[in-house]
Amino acid sequence: MNDTERPNGKQAARHPLLRVIAGGRTRCLYYDGGLIVVAPADTPPFVVDARVVEEDTFRIMSAALEWAPPEVHPLQLMNELQHYEPDRPGSVVVQAGRPIRLLAVVYDLDCDPSWRVEWVAAALRQIMREAAKRRLYSLGLPLLGRQHGRMPRAAFVDLLAGVLADRRSHVPRRLWLMVSAPVDVIPVFRALRDRLFSPRHPRGDI
């Protein structure tokens, strides 16, 4: 497909907001003046100011990635755990660093299933609020609810398209949509492209 070909054979150049660019292990599109790149998580297309990480209410998932021997006595650690207040599903925890880490709390391991569409929707909205607050220019965003859950790809794409189309949202000018494997790049890209092209897309409604 060339740079401006639409799914129905018409030319995307006529669309006022979107332009498609294909290439290599990535797929790119320009939407409303911003660049969106679909690429594997191990193939960063650019340096990001912040990166979103899936998290659960007790932050077990991120702790597993960064485990280190505790510096406090085990009894003190147990006491702290007894009084620990879990994070609210749908919230976002900001961790300083380069890049900044945005922990998207989209799992509650006490629930079955552990994820919910409304938690992912709330987290996406909060991510964009944090992006606006911190004036982030670039952001790495995984498909929330899929790395440790079974949220349908189409459901996440619908939520993301709603955020992108919402004029009230601050979307970083560069958005890296991170997929788990190269084989996922084209299906995710096509789903997002087709969703953004849809004339029935309800702007601002996620």
**Measured CA distances, 202 to 18, 23, 119 (Å):** 16, 30, 20
Position 197 scores a pLDDT of 79
Q: What CATH number is attached to the domain comprising 166?
A: 3.40.220.10
| DSSP assigned state of 129 | H
Least confident piece of the model among 50-59, 112-121, 149-158, 191-200: 191-200
Position 6 scores a pLDDT of 40
Phi-psi label, residue 141: left if phi above 0, alpha if psi -120 to 50, beta otherwise? beta
* Contact of 139 with 49, CB cutoff 8 Å: yes
This prediction's pTM: 0.79
Assess if residue 170 is contained within a domain. Answer: yes
Assess if residue 201 is contained within a domain. Answer: no
| DSSP assigned state of 187 | H
Assess if residue 195 is contained within a domain. Answer: no
Instruction: Domain of residue 154: give its range.
Output: 30-67+77-190
Assess if residue 84 is contained within a domain. Answer: yes
Percentage of the chain lying above the pLDDT 70 cut: 74
Assess if residue 129 is contained within a domain. Answer: yes
Tens of pLDDT along 71-103? 666 666 566 555 568 999 999 999 999 999 999
Please count the structural domains in the chain. Answer: 1
Position 167 scores a pLDDT of 75
Q: Which amino acid is at 32?
A: D
* Alpha helical stretches, state H, the chain: 60-65, 74-82, 117-133, 153-165, 185-197
- First-to-last C-alpha distance (Å) of the chain: 29
Assess if residue 14 is contained within a domain. Answer: no
Assess if residue 205 is contained within a domain. Answer: no
Assess if residue 184 is contained within a domain. Answer: yes
State the DSSP H helix or E strand holding residue 33, giving kind and residue range, or none if neither.
Answer: none
Q: What is the mean pLDDT of residues 26-38?
A: 94
Beta strands across the sheet bearing 138-142: 18-23, 26-31, 34-40, 174-179, 138-142, 50-56, 100-107, 92-95
